[in-house]
């Protein structure tokens, strides 16, 4: 009987729960802010990490979905108690990542987890190979991730599950766990980090990188910085302007160069614009990738009015010296080799994209400044349209 089956394995699968546009926006956030994750071949972007790297404004796009998931879980499982979000994170699994049979509350430090929600942000076969999800018993028994679909289930032994090894590409999810225990409320943690943001002022939307070890992916004595790998994947690289590079202290850790001012290069050219650090440049490049088709149609109109930035010839001094194994990066992040990277956009698109990135970030940042005092007084991070707050 259906009712018995549902109570034996309380779970639900929803198709088309997350819009394509939001899937792409969250992918942009992950590819421009993510760090190396807690398991091999995994990258993650958590909300506290965004707050800690001066990107708290990038929490806003998560919130309406986060609220909707909480309501859906409470309703689907008939919760007569309040739920708290314990964890919200973008998680990507690359070649070689998998997880065997488990329940999500199966460690002493995970006992507080009552429910899970996994939102698939990209699709099996199209974006990655392998990575199918299976429940040990009950229906549905297997899920081929498709962008926009969401599976929710109880975190206990009624929903033992596993994920097949990812064979190629990057499998991206937004994963949330919910708890009845207010001591594990993620909002409370975030609330402690947000007031710092108010001190920086509403126009402070430039990212601060975390420690360079958080971006270092290592495997078998080799490795790469995920920020370098991700700009490289879109055809660019970080470089310094010639005059600056001669001043670098050769004894310093090359990864620390990624914390300071740098430029973007492509082939033998360098754009004459300094970004405050690698995360800033990476965000602009990833933003252009996200908005590539919009930028391609908008640029004719734009160039009649805008002043162009110049493109310089690269010199040997401008190479950055972070020792990345790009072959390993290409293997881990997707089957694109160094020789056949497709360039999705031109310098012109990048210049226009940089202006659009500033508009996007400053709007989010302004909204965040309106919302923080409201959140602090309510002690919860639920989504409200800033225009309705009448401040
Ligand atoms: O990404 C998925 O499909 C599920 C991942 C999982 O089981 C976990 O993170 O515990
Ligand atoms: Fe799991």
CATH topology of domain 2-200: Jelly Rolls (2.60.120)
Residue ranges, the chain, pLDDT below 50: 1, 244-247, 305, 336-340
- Cα gap 192→210, rounded to integer Å: 18
Q: Is the pTM of this model over 0.95?
A: no
To test the ligand 1 pocket, which listed residue (173, 174, 178) has its Cβ within 8 A of the most ligand atoms?
Answer: 173
- Cα gap 241→320, rounded to integer Å: 10
pLDDT of residue 337: 44
- Residue 173's closest CA among 102, 108, 116? 116
Q: Measuring from atom 5 of ligand 1, which residue has the nearest CA?
A: 163
Tell me how far the alpha carbon of residue 163 lies from the centroid of ligand 1, in angstroms.
7
Q: Where are the domains of the chain?
A: 2-200, 212-247+256-364
Residue 314 falls in which region: left (phi positive, over 0), alpha (psi -120 to 50) or beta: beta
pLDDT of residue 204: 83
pLDDT of residue 336: 45
**Residues 255 and 321: beta-carbon distance below 8 Å:** no
pLDDT of residue 198: 67
Tell me how far the alpha carbon of residue 180 lies from the centroid of ligand 2, in angstroms.
18
Query: What's the pLDDT tens digit per position in 140-192?
Result: 999 999 999 999 999 999 999 999 999 999 999 999 999 999 999 999 999 98
| DSSP structure class, residue 262 | B
**Residues 99 and 156: beta-carbon distance below 8 Å:** no
pLDDT of residue 257: 84
Tell me how far the alpha carbon of residue 99 lies from the centroid of ligand 2, in angstroms.
8
DSSP 315-328: -GGGB------HHH
pLDDT of residue 199: 67
- What's CA 259's distance to the chain center, in Å? 19
- Ligand nearest to the backbone CA of 128: 1
Q: Measuring from atom 8 of ligand 1, which residue has the nearest CA?
A: 104
Residues lining ligand 1, judged by CB closer than 6 Å? 99, 104, 118, 133, 161, 163, 173, 175
Tell me how far the alpha carbon of residue 155 lies from the centroid of ligand 2, in angstroms.
8
Question: 143-179: string of b/e by CB count within 10 Å (b at 16+)?
Answer: bebebbbbbbbbbbebbbbebbebebbbbbbbebbbb
Is the preceding peptide bond at 7 cis, omega within 30 degrees of 0? no
């Amino acid at each position: 009987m259906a009712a018995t089956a549902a109570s034996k394995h309380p779970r639900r699968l929803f198709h088309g729960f997350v819009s394509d546009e939001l899937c792409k926006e969250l992918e942009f956030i992950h590819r421009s802010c993510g760090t190396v994750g807690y398991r091999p071949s995994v990258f993650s972007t958590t909300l506290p990490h965004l707050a800690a790297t001066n990107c708290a404004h990038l929490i806003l796009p998560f919130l309406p979905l986060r609220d909707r998931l909480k309501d859906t879980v409470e309703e689907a499982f008939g919760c007569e108690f309040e739920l708290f979000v314990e964890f919200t994170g973008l998680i990507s699994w690359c070649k070689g990542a998998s997880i065997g049979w488990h329940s999500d509350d199966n460690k002493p430090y995970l006992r507080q987890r009552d429910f899970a929600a996994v939102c698939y942000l990209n699709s099996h076969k199209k974006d990655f190979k392998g990575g199918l999800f299976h429940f040990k018993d009950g229906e549905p028994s297997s899920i081929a991730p498709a962008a926009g679909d969401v599976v929710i289930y109880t975190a206990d032994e009624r929903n033992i599950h596993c994920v097949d090894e990812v064979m190629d590409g990057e499998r991206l999810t937004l994963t949330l766990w919910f708890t009845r225990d207010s001591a594990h409320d993620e909002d409370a943690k975030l609330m402690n980090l947000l007031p710092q943001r108010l001190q920086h002022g509403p126009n402070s939307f430039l990212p601060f990188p975390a420690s360079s070890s958080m971006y270092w992916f290592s495997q078998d004595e080799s490795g790469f910085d995920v920020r370098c790998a991700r700009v490289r994947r879109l055809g660019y690289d970080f470089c310094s302007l010639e005059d600056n590079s001669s001043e670098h202290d050769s004894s310093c850790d090359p990864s620390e160069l990624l914390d300071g001012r740098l430029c973007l290069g492509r082939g033998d050219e360098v754009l004459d614009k300094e970004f405050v650090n690698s995360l800033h440049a990476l965000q602009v490049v990833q933003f252009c990738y996200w908005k590539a088709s919009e930028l391609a149609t908008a640029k004719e109109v734009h160039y009649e009015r805008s002043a162009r930035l110049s493109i310089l010839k690269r010199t040997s001094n401008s190479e950055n010296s972070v020792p990345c194994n790009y072959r390993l990066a290409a293997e881990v992040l997707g089957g694109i080799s160094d020789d056949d990277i497709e360039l999705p956009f031109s310098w012109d698109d990048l210049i226009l994209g940089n202006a659009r990135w500033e508009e996007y970030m400053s709007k989010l940042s302004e909204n965040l400044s309106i919302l923080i005092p409201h959140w602090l007084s309510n002690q919860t991070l639920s989504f409200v349209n800033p225009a309705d707050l009448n401040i």
